[in-house]
A and B are shown apart, each in its own frame.
Chain A
Amino acid sequence: MSEHVMSSKFYYTIWIVLLCLTVITAAVSFVDLGPFNTIVALVIATVKALLVILFFMHVKYTSERLTKIVIVSAIFWLLLLLGLSMADYATRFLS
Chain B
Amino acid sequence: MSDSPIAVEQHGPEHLHHFADAEQQRDAASLGMWLFLATEIMFFGGMFLAYLVYRYWYYNEFAAGSRSLDISLGTINTAVLICSSLTVALGVRAAQMGNRKLLVILLLLTIVFGFAFLGIKGVEWYQKFEEHHIPGRSFNAGDLIKEYPQIHIDPQHEQIYFSLYFAMTGLHALHMIIGVGIFVFLTYHAWKGRYTPKYHTPIEIGGLYWHFVDIVWIYLFPLLYLIDRKPLR
Contacts and interface: CB of A to CB of B under 8 A. Distances in A.
A1 B93 CA distance: 15
Interface residues of B, number: 53
A56 B31 CA distance: 16
B56 A57 contact: no
Given A70-B31, A77-B42, A82-B48, A22 B89 contact: no
B35 interface: yes
B163 interface: no
A52 B85 contact: yes
Chain B contact surface mostly: helix
Nearest to B33: A67
Interface stretch (B109-117, B136-144, B185-193, B211-219): B211-219
A81 B219 contact: no
Interface residues of A, number: 53
A52 B230 contact: no
A15 B230 contact: no
6 contacts: A3-B26, A5-B96, A26-B75, A37-B228, A77-B45, A89-B56
Interface of B: 23, 26-27, 30-31, 34-35, 37-38, 41-42, 45-46, 48-49, 52-53, 56-57, 71, 74-75, 78-79, 82-83, 85-86, 88-90, 92-93, 96-97, 207-208, 211-212, 214-215, 218-219, 221-223, 225-231
